[in-house]
Amino acid sequence: MGSKDAGSSPAIVLDDERPPPLPPRPSQTIEGGHAVTSVERPQLQSKPTTALSSMNIQTLSFPDGSRGTFSTNADNASTGADRIDVVPEESMRSRGLSMGGSDLDEAMSVMSFAPTLRPPGDLESLLVGDMSKRSPAWALLRAQSSAVQPFETVNSSKMAILTNFEHEFDDIPDVSENWNDEDRLQMWKSKLKHFMILSSAGKPIYSRHGDLGLINSSMGVIQTIISFYEGAKNPLFGFTAGDTRFVIATQGPLYFVAVSRLGESDSQMRAQLDALYMQILSTLTLPTLNSIFANRPSTDLRKPLQGTEMLLSSLADSFTKGSPSSLLGALECLRLRKSQRHSINNAFLKARSEKLLYGLIVAGGRLVSVIRPRRHSLHPSDLQLIFNMLFESGGIKSGGGENWVPLCLPAFNNRGYLYMYVSFLDGQAESEATPQTSADTDKEIAIILISTDKESFFVLQQMRDDVVTELKRKRLLELIKAAAQKGRPTIDEITPGAHISHFLFKSKANVQFCMPSLHRAFDGMVQRRRLMSLYHSLHATVHTKHSHLKVLNCVSEEATSLAWVTPIFELYCVAGPNAPRAAMAQAANKIIQWAKREEERLFIIGGGVF
């Protein structure tokens, strides 16, 4: 009994697992009562396609790195279509299957009879004919796609960050009936970039946005975090909170903090903090700064720095807007012929005074001429401080046509002062009430004479008069004004017919850079910031520590960009999102050839030496 039960139980299980039979298919009848056969049923208008043609496929690689597949001539293709034609009914019988007429008509499809085992190789698409042809409208759109400029396509996620960028530099109002502390704090938090300076004792020194009373608690939190890590002998260099990056730089008794949501790298923001530190040293000198905190670590540095807030803010704003000069660590020169620049240098040298250390002629923030001692040259960071003081802050221009300014150039000598005589030649600086526009700034011409003697004002003033007289006599001053008013060359003048919209070219040997005039696509402040953010991203990628990239090509839905770095130059260029890589490479080569051909016009090589 036991063995029988044991042997019969598997059979019972098998019976339970067998699927139940399908119900009989209801027959379709008409009024006569007989079933409708497949012959009598109305046929579908479209019939299955069972003939597949095998084709020889050739894959080609193009110079820009893309690939394409092409079929060979039909005459050379194999006659595989005869071998793979399949009759549906015979195919079903060969597989041991049978179908009624109605089942066959309803169930069969093209892919039901497509063979699954094929010889190696690509197959021609089943959908061939008119559907694979491009319409004239498609061809027209494709031809125009390369003309799409950068950032014309809208990326909502990226645009949301810069929605209120035009109000980034609006001042936060004081407490009033319409503005309480909570509203002011919310406005402060909405800013995309902050710069803060505080002492190691926690005393606030400077903040770009908001008064120190508003952000005193925030600075206290930052000072506590920094001190905690310093106490653990593990200095804090930066951290991330959400989409915000904090970068910290410690310079002696001072803490510099940059807070950004603009996607800049740590090294880029640290270079900006170093520039703010240099701006402070240009006012105090390093020995003075150290002695202040050596005697009283809790000293409030706002009094010694009184009057420099405008310089710090203009420098910080240039970083927020995007400064090619600070990004590349280089200067831009006014484009002039080699012979013309040589004549300007000679006129400068002819009027040189014995008290002169450095002499500069600057037009609209671009260097025209420099004369210097044989074994000395000014560092670009020092020149950027001078240009910021002259053309960005407005402090010197409001003083009239002539100024005598003591300042420290930290990269030259951070322990003492030099004395700078500044004279504007266009007369625009004499009106304090007249607002300065960017167009006016681009045309301003200034002569800068630097000396180590604080009593040499009148000597340098006479030298300035002699230089202007000589420049006017040779009609060189008119030439400088005309070149400044003409502005930078357009991209079409440099590379006619290229897809490039903008570029930055840096000559490493001369520590100078050039760029074309801004395309209409970058007219607005937001568009310019998006362009500079793209340049920041390229620069950060190719200059990342342990990076060995020489050429970088980036493609996004907004723009196509290229970075090319060699020991001789750096090139960054931007084009529309549909620009081919081959066209980008060709345009980059043209830009390099143009820069090499125009090198002595674009850059100051050596300058006037005495």
pLDDT tens-digit series, residues 530-542? 999 999 999 999 9
Residue-wise pLDDT for 161-188, tens only, equals: 888 888 899 988 887 767 888 888 889 9
Question: Side by side, which strands form the sheet with 512-514?
Answer: 331-332, 512-514, 500-507, 569-575, 560-565, 551-555
Distance CA(70)–CA(9), nearest Å, equals 63
- Residue 600's region, left for phi above 0, alpha for psi from -120 to 50, else beta, is alpha
pLDDT score at 364:
83
The answer on pLDDT for 394 being more than 50 is yes
What number is the average pLDDT over the span 368-377?
91
Confidence of residue 83 (pLDDT cuts 50, 70, 90): very low
Distance CA(260)–CA(532), nearest Å, equals 14
pLDDT score at 88:
45
Beta strand 204-207 with 445-451 is unpaired
- Nearest CA among 282, 445, 418, 284 for reference residue 358: 418
pLDDT score at 150:
77
Residue-wise pLDDT for 245-273, tens only, equals: 999 999 999 999 999 999 999 999 999 99
Most confident of 59-68, 217-226, 337-346, 512-521: 337-346
pLDDT score at 432:
43
DSSP 8-state code for residue 390: I
Q: What is the DSSP string of 70-96?
A: EE--GGGS--HHHHH---HHHHHHHTT
Beta strand 418-424 with 445-451 is antiparallel
SS (H, E, C) 22-52: CCCCCCCECCCCCECCCCCCCCCCCCCCCCC
Tokens 């603009």 belong to 262
The answer on pLDDT for 495 being more than 60 is yes
What number is the average pLDDT over the span 523-533?
91
The answer on pLDDT for 365 being more than 80 is yes
User: Fold match between 165-321 and 328-487?
Assistant: yes
Domain 491-602 has CATH 3.30.450.30: yes
CATH classification number, 165-321, choose in 3.90.700.10, 3.30.565.10, 3.30.450.70, 1.10.10.10: 3.30.450.70
Listed by start position, the domains of the chain span 2-43+52-115, 165-321, 328-487, 491-602
Residues of the chain with pLDDT > 70, as a percent, come to: 71
Residue-wise pLDDT for 299-329, tens only, equals: 889 989 988 899 999 999 999 999 999 999 9
Least confident span in 139-143, 190-194, 421-425, 590-594: 139-143
Count of positions (residues) in the chain: 610
Tokens 């210097």 belong to 372
- Nearest CA among 321, 334, 327, 322 for reference residue 488: 334
Beta strand 193-199 with 254-260 is antiparallel
pLDDT score at 513:
97
Confidence of residue 79 (pLDDT cuts 50, 70, 90): very low
pTM for the full predicted model: 0.74
- Are residues 216 and 229 in contact, defined by beta-carbon separation less than 8 angstroms? no
The answer on pLDDT for 464 being more than 90 is yes
The answer on pLDDT for 104 being more than 80 is no
- Nearest CA among 368, 324, 550 for reference residue 467: 368
Distance CA(249)–CA(265), nearest Å, equals 14
H or E stretch covering 572: strand 569-575
DSSP 8-state code for residue 440: H
What number is the average pLDDT over the span 24-33?
56
Contacts of 506 (CB under 8 A, 6+ apart): 328, 330, 512, 513, 569, 570, 571
Residue-wise pLDDT for 185-244, tens only, equals: 889 999 999 999 999 888 899 999 988 778 888 888 999 999 999 888 888 999 999 999
Confidence of residue 521 (pLDDT cuts 50, 70, 90): confident
The answer on pLDDT for 549 being more than 90 is no
Contacts of 27 (CB under 8 A, 6+ apart): 35
pLDDT score at 56:
56
Beta strand 366-372 with 402-407 is unpaired
Contacts of 236 (CB under 8 A, 6+ apart): 225, 226, 229, 230, 248
3-state secondary structure of 463: helix
Structure tokens at 375: 């074994």
Contacts of 131 (CB under 8 A, 6+ apart): none
pLDDT score at 383:
94
Helix axes 476-486, 457-473, angle to 10 degrees: 80
The answer on pLDDT for 373 being more than 70 is yes
Confidence of residue 462 (pLDDT cuts 50, 70, 90): very high
Distance CA(354)–CA(369), nearest Å, equals 19
The answer on pLDDT for 147 being more than 60 is yes
Q: Give the angle subtended at the CA of 394 by the CAs of 392 and 397, to the nearest 5°.
A: 125
pLDDT score at 546:
80
**Amino acid at the residue 524:** G
Confidence of residue 142 (pLDDT cuts 50, 70, 90): low
Contacts of 185 (CB under 8 A, 6+ apart): 214
* Burial grade of 409 (CB within 10 A; 0-12, 13-18, 19 or more): buried
- Name the residue with higher pLDDT: 115 or 69: 69
Residue-wise pLDDT for 269-285, tens only, equals: 999 999 999 999 999 99
Q: Give the angle subtended at the CA of 478 by the CAs of 475 and 481, to the nearest 5°.
A: 150
Output the average pLDDT for the chain.
80
* Burial grade of 295 (CB within 10 A; 0-12, 13-18, 19 or more): exposed
- Other C-beta atoms closer than 10 Å to the C-beta of 523 total 10
- Are residues 148 and 557 in contact, defined by beta-carbon separation less than 8 angstroms? no
The domain made up of 328-487 has a fold known as Beta-Lactamase (3.30.450)
With b for 16 or more beta-carbon neighbours within 10 A and e for fewer, the 565-576 pattern comes to beeebbbbbbbb
| Cα distances (angstroms) measured from residue 561 to each of 22, 516, 575, 583 | 63, 16, 6, 12
Distance CA(319)–CA(314), nearest Å, equals 9
